[in-house]
Amino acid sequence: QLQTLIEQGDSFQKPAAIKLMPFVQQAWLLAQRYDAVIANPPYMGGKGMNPELKIFAQKHFPDSKSDLFAMFMERAFDLLKDNGYNAQVNMQSWMFLSSYQAMREKLLDTHTFITMAHLGARAFGQISGEVVQTTAFVLAKKPISTYRPTFFRLIEGNEEQKQSALLSGQHRFDATVQEDFKKIPGSPVAYWVSDKIRNIFTDSPALGTVSDARQGLATADNDRFLRLWHEIEINHVGFGIANRDKAKQSAKKWFPYNKGGSFRKWYGNQDFVLNWENDGEEIRNFTDDKDKQRSVIRNPNYYFQESVSWSDITSSTNAFRVFPKGFIHDSTGHSIFGLNETNKKIVLSFCNNIFASGIIKMLNPTMHFHIGYFNNLPYPKELENNDFSSVNELISIGKTDWNNYETSWDFTENPLIREQYPTPPVPVIPAGMTAFENKAANPTYNLSTIYADWQTQNRQTIAEMQRLEQENNRLFIDAYGLQDELDADVPLEQITLTVNPKYRYGGNLTDEQLAQRFQADTLAELISYAIGCMMGRYRLDKPGLIYAHSGNIDFDKIYNDGTTPPFGKGVLGGDFTLGQIPPNPP
């Protein structure tokens, strides 16, 4: 009819019809319903949206507002007939991240997963800098809760390998009923997980119900508020403080800071100190030009408590470790509080095993593992009566290894000069040979021999830790009947000891190259210790730091055993830091 008015209308009808026609055509297009919608939608996270788009997303797409691709994914269903199909390739993040949980649950309740090729990274050839992890899928508009979708797990390899695997039907998973995805907290699309593991979630309480995981402080300016501990005069650092009140009473400026750190299990990553003088007065008053506080001080009532912690950014496997009292924790050093000794060992044993590693990848396969995901892990309540004494051994091995190096404030002496090495026998000089000739002909217990013996000890330590970790894996594999799904073996590169070259250096170095590099670093560490002895920082006849503050104050007393005792081994137990340091030296 509008077309008729355009052609035959009077002077009023004709221009009005011409003006109205584009809007009618657009409405007609939008009103169409299709058998299939196929798309590779644009990607744009919330940070890239302008204010108008953000408001639009929050109003019209509350479940998918985190990214434009998810909004397109949801919108496509509105364009379908009742029996239509939504086929897209987009980012995989909607399958796992907590920000898309409401969207996933809606998809599982109101639509049907038909098939998916989970492509991961490197799905589009050799694109420079490609980091996007993708998935291609077909979903039906109508819900069929008992339907068993077909998935192809193609996250390994390059584009050609993925294509070949898909065409040959490799890595196929089609045994899971769609409704079963809801058994796992957060409803991740973990299609490769067995029914045994899904049932563990339904039969076990969540870790969040038996522990108190908390995010920590964000300074907003680490260069201003953080230091490596050896950059600070040691008598200005408060070690082993029990709570905030005692920290304030100590009048110390710097306190140990748990900043997360690199991949290390059981013990370690104790490098930094934080300016928390007068209960964090300076950091609390750190504001911008609009007088808005820049730093974010989260959960301060948990500061200085013992904890089990992990780094926000994870590597190929999980790494949890203990922190004694006296630490403030960072926003990247997520920490668990309120554990008794039994629960602490159970949580550490569980979180550092192959079973938990697989579950963590299932809940969130990205590089970040936040507290919300931790709280959803199943707590192994049925194993509470098991013997977890091996956890103490693993912590002890990790602690000894950490303290073997000058980068630890509990360092006492270089391991190559310790007394456990045998004293060489007094040589018997043959008749007719001078002492010098005898020494040249019969070298005694020298540095090369000490190094060889120490390397033997290191290999034994590494092997022992590997054995204990594999026993820990078997405990959970056997308890849950997962022998057909998981392997208890722990690769050497995952034995997180500094004396382990495969962990320390990684990469593709040969055994010979690893040995050479380790030997070179060990000798450099010995030279560093020797220089420290020459400069008065250490003494061969006394363990630990001897002099670690500036100004030459009381050096003679400290070094020559005057009225001020020297520094001792006990860092985390004395009334003063690193032994008996006078609080107010003259």
pLDDT tens for residues 450-461?
A: 899 999 999 999
- Average pLDDT (433-444) is 55
Banded pLDDT at 423 (limits 50, 70, 90): low
pLDDT at 127: 53
Residue 415 clears pLDDT 50, i.e. is over it: yes
Q: Say if residues 346 and 320 touch (Cβ distance below 8 Å).
A: no
Banded pLDDT at 586 (limits 50, 70, 90): very low
Q: Say if residues 213 and 369 touch (Cβ distance below 8 Å).
A: no
Residue 118 clears pLDDT 90, i.e. is over it: yes
pLDDT at 440: 52
- Average pLDDT (161-181) is 93
pLDDT at 519: 96
What type of residue is 281?
E
Residue 13 clears pLDDT 90, i.e. is over it: no
Residue 498 clears pLDDT 60, i.e. is over it: yes
- Average pLDDT (175-185) is 92
Tokens read off for 135: 């998935």
Interatomic CA distance for residues 530 and 524, integer angstroms: 10
- Greater confidence (216 vs 6) lies with 216
pLDDT at 574: 32
Going from the C-alpha of 495 to that of each of 258, 322, 461, the distances in angstroms are 21, 16, 10
pLDDT at 128: 47
Query: Chain-wide mean pLDDT for the chain?
Result: 87
- Greater confidence (26 vs 217) lies with 217
Interatomic CA distance for residues 500 and 491, integer angstroms: 12
Going from the C-alpha of 521 to that of each of 479, 501, 517, 524, the distances in angstroms are 42, 11, 6, 5
Banded pLDDT at 535 (limits 50, 70, 90): confident
SS3 188: coil
- Greater confidence (305 vs 540) lies with 305
Q: In what order do the strands lie in the sheet with 172-173?
A: 34-39, 80-91, 134-140, 112-120, 150-153, 172-173
- Average pLDDT (565-581) is 36
Residue 114 clears pLDDT 50, i.e. is over it: yes
Interatomic CA distance for residues 123 and 572, integer angstroms: 51
Residue 584 clears pLDDT 50, i.e. is over it: no
| Neighbour-count burial of 416, counting CB atoms closer than 10 A to its CB (0-12 exposed, 13-18 middle, 19+ buried) | middle
Interatomic CA distance for residues 153 and 149, integer angstroms: 13
Interatomic CA distance for residues 449 and 95, integer angstroms: 57
The model's pTM is: 0.81
Q: What is the pLDDT of residues 339-397, one digit of tens each?
A: 888 889 999 999 999 999 989 888 887 778 889 899 999 999 888 888 898 999 999 99
pLDDT at 546: 85
Q: Say if residues 155 and 120 touch (Cβ distance below 8 Å).
A: yes
Residue 433 clears pLDDT 70, i.e. is over it: no
- Greater confidence (276 vs 439) lies with 276
The residue length of the chain stands at 586
- Greater confidence (122 vs 141) lies with 141
Q: What percent of the chain has pLDDT over 70?
A: 88
pLDDT at 554: 59
Dihedral angle at the C-alpha atoms of 158, 159, 164, 167, nearest 10 degrees? 140
DSSP strand pairing (320-323 vs 254-258): unpaired
Residue ranges in 435-554 assigned as alpha helix (H): 435-441, 447-480, 501-505, 511-534
pLDDT at 17: 81
Residue 580 clears pLDDT 50, i.e. is over it: no
- Average pLDDT (469-493) is 93
Tokens read off for 372: 């919300």
pLDDT at 369: 86
Residue ranges in 135-233 assigned as alpha helix (H): 159-167, 195-203, 222-225
- Average pLDDT (470-474) is 95
SS3 320: strand
Residue 398 clears pLDDT 50, i.e. is over it: yes
Q: Which residues make Cβ contacts (< 8 Å) with residue 391, sequence separation at least 6?
A: 345, 348, 349, 472
pLDDT at 559: 57
Interatomic CA distance for residues 338 and 343, integer angstroms: 9
Residue among 215, 576, 25 at smallest CA distance from 568: 576
Banded pLDDT at 565 (limits 50, 70, 90): very low
Please name the helix (run of DSSP H) or strand (run of DSSP E) that holds residue 34, with its range, or none.
Answer: strand 34-39
End-to-end Cα distance, the chain: 101
What is the DSSP secondary-structure string of 33-84? Answer: -EEEEEE-----BGGGS-HHHHHHHHHH-TTTTTBHHHHHHHHHHHTEEEEE
What type of residue is 373?
Y
Residue 19 clears pLDDT 90, i.e. is over it: no
- CB atoms under 10 Å from CB of 415, counted, come to 22
Banded pLDDT at 572 (limits 50, 70, 90): very low
Interatomic CA distance for residues 398 and 393, integer angstroms: 9
Going from the C-alpha of 329 to that of each of 1, 258, 470, the distances in angstroms are 71, 5, 30
Tokens read off for 455: 């390397």
Residue 404 clears pLDDT 50, i.e. is over it: yes
Tokens read off for 149: 């979708």
Banded pLDDT at 511 (limits 50, 70, 90): very high
Strand partners, 90: 135
Residue among 203, 204, 182, 207 at smallest CA distance from 193: 182
